[in-house]
Structure 1
Amino acid sequence: MVAELLPLNPDELLTTTRSVRKRLDLDRPVPLDVIHECLDIALQAPSGSNTQSWHWIVLTDADLKQKVADHYARSYNDYAASRPKTDDATMGRIRSSSQYLADVMGQVPVLVLGAIDTGSDLPPGNQASMWGSLLPAAWSFSLALRARGLGSAWTTLHLVYEREVAQILGIPSTVHQGVLLPVAYTKGTDFRPAPRRPLDDVLHLNGW
């Protein structure tokens, strides 16, 4: 099966790939062929020394999804309780949609975990070189989903219980999870760029 592509130019694709939560369609099945197609694209992402040591754990089994979702919800609830309360409308919307995702994670048609085999424990110090061989591929996967009318949300809160999730899924101790992506078709495809700080606030030319 080859999924139909949305009529998006590259800039539109890059600026409208959002974290989708409330607009994930929990009732529409996601064919595994589409997941495979998007992961094939993701494998063209950079990989340090061309090691290609990434792994992708795709969950469609309802029981396994719920077990992972339970750990995610537990971590999210602890995180949410620790955050200061504000009256900011934007943060209110984010809290609402994040709580929604925590509540329905187990009902999302497909969960995809991106992981990397380091051959040992996580290295000390700055780990950018290691995660740089996984996270670009995970973002390419998200872009490929968006191009086909599907959405996801970049989540890492389950990593508080990484070992517990690894035990549930039989993931070896040398393989470290980096991201959890709930995947579904979206309710509508009319996503817009998100508000961002002005470039001049974060741009440093020839030094800090």
Structure 2
Amino acid sequence: MTELLPLTPDQLLSTTRAVRKRLDLDRPVPLEVVREALEVALQAPSGGNRQHWHWIVLTDPAVKAQVAEYYRRSHLAYSGARQVTDTSTARLASSSDYLREVLADVPVLVIGAIEGELPAGNQAGMWGSLLPAAWSLALALRARGLGTTWTTLHLTYEREVAEVLGIPPEVHQGVLLPVAYTKGTDFRPGPRVDLDSVLHLNGW
């Protein structure tokens, strides 16, 4: 088993950041390490314990390049419409633009998907059976010295990506996680709103 970083549970939860510019594009990622992290992720809860999730792990450069091109197209439309208003959003925009240009070079891409019919109306029950496991995967990767960032921009071209990867129509993609070792592991908690501004006790 891969040696884990010496992090307490609270440290792990609060320092698993969105990593883009600090992804090490030159260091290979053994598939066994990704499998270890996925084994941990599969312990996440799912509706009715049905575990209808699927994990598409991409390592082939040609396949990654095709997916990255769809991501790039979607990102260009997204970045053209965004508002950069301060230093923080400018930094985020720069980081996001960087990932767009290097996504094909990230050692591993993982797409989390869920099998079943998408319900009409509120879909929380459906996606609640996938997204906790995807976040557990991000945590498990961080514990092993790897990083990722949560992105869904490729879903603008979900059907085209499904055709590239041979994903059947009843399987719906939910998240794309670019996976690489990180340049350093000294991540810190990020700035967040004050808890009392979003906390509602016994009602709104």
Question: If the TM-score is normalised by the length of the shorter chain, which range does it land in?
Answer: over 0.9
Where does 1:1-208 land on structure 2 (aligned, <5 Å)? 2-86=1-85, 88-118=86-116, 120=117, 122-208=118-204
Name the amino acid aligned to 1:15: S
Shift in Å, 1:84: 2.3
Name the amino acid aligned to 1:106: A
Shift in Å, 1:82: 0.8
Shift in Å, 1:85: 3.6
Name the amino acid aligned to 1:132: G
Shift in Å, 1:92: 0.5
Q: Distance in 1 between matches of 2:72 and 2:2?
A: 31
Shift in Å, 1:54: 0.2
Partners of 2:84 and 2:90 within 8 A in 1: no
Q: How many residues align?
A: 204
Q: Distance in 2 between matches of 1:85 and 1:178?
A: 27
Q: Distance in 2 between matches of 1:156 and 1:84?
A: 19
Name the amino acid aligned to 1:114: G
Structure 2 alignment gaps of length 5 or more? none
Q: Distance in 2 between matches of 1:9 and 1:50?
A: 28
Two-structure CA RMSD over aligned residues (Å)? 0.6
Partners of 2:71 and 2:153 within 8 A in 1: yes
Q: TM-score when scaled to structure 2?
A: 0.99
Partners of 2:109 and 2:177 within 8 A in 1: yes
SS of the residue 1:183 aligns to:
strand
Q: Distance in 2 between matches of 1:67 and 1:194?
A: 33
Q: Distance in 1 between matches of 2:45 and 2:122?
A: 19
Deviations 1:112-139 (A, max 9, x none): 0000001x3x211000000000000000
Name the amino acid aligned to 1:112: V
Q: Distance in 1 between matches of 2:115 and 2:21?
A: 33
Shift in Å, 1:25: 0.1
Partners of 2:55 and 2:112 within 8 A in 1: yes
Q: TM-score when scaled to structure 1?
A: 0.97
Shift in Å, 1:169: 0.1
Structure 1 alignment gaps of length 5 or more? none
Percent identical:
70
SS of the residue 2:51 aligns to:
coil
